[in-house]
Amino acid sequence: EDKVVQSPLSLVVHEGDTVTLNCSYEVTNFRSLLWYKQEKKAPTFLFMLTSSGIEKKSGRLSSILDKKELSSILNITATQTGDSAIYLCAVFRQGGSEKLVFGKGTKLTVNP
């Protein structure tokens, strides 16, 4: 059975801290791994990772995929209160039923 596991499930930090969120997966026919940020309602897209070892960056956020370890990390440096959200990891499996398999998410709270 396809599985995506995120850790930690919940994290509380102070503004300015750096955080690392983890995502590991066991998915047949892996194609890509995606990160989403969900504040109150609709998840918004952050990154899509297909190749191992290539870092994707957007401002203070960065992410990298390790296909050997079947995992990815999402780093947020100099956190701000606006980074408080649930961060969702999803893996796209190809062939047969092509779909995204989601992890349970990491709830990040950044306190001032």
Partner 1 sequence: DGGITQSPKYLFRKEGQNVTLSCEQNLNHDAMYWYRQDPGQGLRLIYYSQIVNDFQKGDIAEGYSVSREKKESFPLTVTSAQKNPTAFYLCASSIASGRASSYEQYFGPGTRLTVT
Reported in sequence order, the residue ranges of the chain that DSSP labels E, i.e. its strands, are 3-7, 10-14, 19-26, 30-38, 44-49, 56-58, 61-66, 71-76, 85-93, 99-102, 106-111
Q: Which residues contact 24 (CB under 8 A, 6 or more apart)?
A: 4, 5, 7, 69, 70, 71
CB of 48 to partner 1, least distance (A): 6
Q: Which of 53, 104, 109, 111 binds partner 1 (CB under 8 A)?
A: 104
By CB under 8 A, residue 102 contacts partner 1: yes
By CB under 8 A, residue 76 contacts partner 1: no
Q: Which of 25, 43, 76, 79 binds partner 1 (CB under 8 A)?
A: 43
Q: Is 70 or 100 the residue whose CB approaches partner 1 more closely?
A: 100
Q: Is 18 or 44 the residue whose CB approaches partner 1 more closely?
A: 44
* Residue ranges in contact with partner 1 by CB under 8 A: 4, 6, 9, 31-32, 34, 36, 41-45, 48, 50, 88, 90, 92, 97-100, 102-105
